[in-house]
Structure 1
């Protein structure tokens, strides 16, 4: 099986062929601006304790971070939404790899700012090997310092792609989390962190899972 990195690089290559150069240049500029502004340095990191918070499951029920962790190690991955092909590729890799591991030995939560009903439009959640949770108004991501405001020009570009952040999130903020994956120990402390302001780059799922297995 090829790696997620290889799959994402192929996606990038296809994107460059499909989109106008000025659009690509602006999207790259937004990413570079985030990096230069230090957005990768602000989020919680190794040694920090994950704050408690509340998320919604796919049925719209409120669940707390503390009860989700349940005194066992966990993987928490933030993704932008079901509209993001890079996020979908990442989650597909996790789903395949986690399918090879006994459910009793793994705990992974994919967190996005999308409303549960929007997520359900695109994902057959109950068939996945991990839980998909909604972070309404990005309250949990905000506690981890992962958020950035999507510039109006980029919002317009997204609108042209049929991506309506305000509808999918149910608010007027147009905020997104940067790409981030954490491994949390049974005490809620971050042991591994992968954070990147470039949404086209993600932690390699096989490496994340191997690091997680060492904690079992």
Structure 2
């Protein structure tokens, strides 16, 4: 009897876990390797240090002395959802800066590919290529792309993900958004494996207040 009860409890749990894995896999995440969870609200934000696509030195520690930091991860210039999201973000950039925020956008692309992103989105925000992948790892948004998804992107969007990033292996970030407060802690986050779902400018503004 006890075994039967245990089976009744465990089987639905395993089924739910499988459904979740299947949904993540469809978005290109190789679940046989590390599946990112993203750092949580309330945690201390890893420091960001790097050089932007236009040669500016970027240091989050200095930025949050008098501003809040809006940190956005994107996948690449080949991704239509990223291009649309970043273009919309740039169109509303003045509202974010007026709210006392600095916007930094981080992606896995090499500098050449990141320049294409900048041109495509006509961006005025800080665009930071994370060529070492260390920032994406620190924020726990980085994952290995499935072979099937790599093929899909190459066939339909004519892009080799690894080549676009200047890497041997195809890796991408979950396109998450973080707001980092002046206390260096994560104030709010939007984290969704479904890359079609992004944080809106309104959501970001609501959480900057």
TM-score by length of 1: 0.74
Could you say which residue in structure 1 is the equivalent of 2:5?
A: none
Which of 197, 203, 206 aligns to 1:207? It is: 203
Q: Would the aligned equivalents of 2:68 and 2:179 in 1 still touch at CA under 8 Å?
A: yes
Name the SS of the counterpart of 1:196 in structure 2: coil
Q: Would the aligned equivalents of 2:83 and 2:120 in 1 still touch at CA under 8 Å?
A: no
Which of 86, 89, 95 aligns to 2:90? It is: 95
Structure 1 residues 33, 138: CA separation in 2 closer, same or farther (over 3 Å shift)?
closer
How many residue pairs align between the two structures? 187
Could you say which residue in structure 1 is the equivalent of 2:78?
A: 83
Given the alignment of the two structures, is residue 54 of structure 1 paired with residue 62 of structure 2, yes or no?
no
2: distance between equivalents of 1:207 and 1:126?
A: 21
Q: Would the aligned equivalents of 1:55 and 1:65 in 2 still touch at CA under 8 Å?
A: no
Instruction: Show structure 1 runs of 5+ residues with no match.
Output: 1-25
2: distance between equivalents of 1:175 and 1:128?
A: 24
Q: Shift of residue 29 of structure 1?
A: 4.5
Q: Would the aligned equivalents of 2:53 and 2:127 in 1 still touch at CA under 8 Å?
A: yes
1: distance between equivalents of 2:108 and 2:50?
A: 10
2: distance between equivalents of 1:179 and 1:57?
A: 18
CA RMSD of aligned residues (A): 3.0
Could you say which residue in structure 2 is the equivalent of 1:17?
A: none
Q: Would the aligned equivalents of 2:143 and 2:172 in 1 still touch at CA under 8 Å?
A: yes
Which of 104, 112, 118 aligns to 1:109? It is: 104
Task: Compare CA radii of gyration and give the structure with the larger one.
Answer: 2
Name the SS of the counterpart of 2:140 in structure 1: coil
Could you say which residue in structure 2 is the equivalent of 1:43?
A: 38
Q: Would the aligned equivalents of 2:29 and 2:35 in 1 still touch at CA under 8 Å?
A: no
1: distance between equivalents of 2:96 and 2:175?
A: 24
Instruction: Show structure 2 runs of 5+ residues with no match.
Output: 1-21
Which of 175, 179, 182 aligns to 1:179? It is: 175
Q: Shift of residue 103 of structure 1?
A: 6.0
Name the SS of the counterpart of 1:136 in structure 2: coil
Q: Which deviations, in whole Å up to 9, do the C-alpha atoms of 1:14-46 show, x marking residues without a partner?
A: xxxxxxxxxxxx9974239779x9946x21010
2: distance between equivalents of 1:183 and 1:114?
A: 22
Matches within 5 A, 1:1-216: 29-31=25-27, 39=35, 42-60=37-55, 63-100=58-95, 105-124=100-119, 128-160=123-155, 161-212=157-208, 214=209
TM-score by length of 2: 0.76
